[in-house]
Amino acid sequence: MWTMRVITANHFRDVKALVDVRECISCLLTQKWKHCFIS
């Protein structure tokens, strides 16, 4: 786990990355994969 000190911009960047991954997986599942790679 991250230490309490590391709850900074890095945390929000990681959360955004997770959201992007989930959106990409949704794209893949709906066969709209081109939207994932054209950003």
**Burial class of residue 36, CB neighbours in 10 A (0-12, 13-18, 19+):** middle
pLDDT at 28 (0 to 100): 74
Contact in structure between 19 and 27 (CB atoms under 8 Å): no
16: in domain: yes
| Residue 36 belongs to a domain | no
The pLDDT assigned to 18 comes to 86
pTM of the model: 0.43
Domain count, the chain: 1
User: Per-residue confidence at 36, pLDDT binned at 50, 70, 90?
Assistant: low
Q: Could you read off the pLDDT of 9-34 as tens digits, one per residue? A: 777 888 888 888 888 788 777 766 56
Q: Does 36 or 8 have the greater pLDDT score?
A: 8
Does 38 fall in a domain? Answer: no
| Residue 39, domain member (yes or no) | no
- Does the structure show a pLDDT above 60 at 38? no
Residue 37 lies in a domain: no
| Closest to 25 measured CA to CA, from 36, 37, 14 | 36
Q: Do the domain assignments include residue 35? A: no
**Domain presence at residue 19:** yes
Domain span at 20: 1-30
Token couple for 22: 């989930």
Instruction: State the amino acid at position 3 in one-letter form.
Output: T
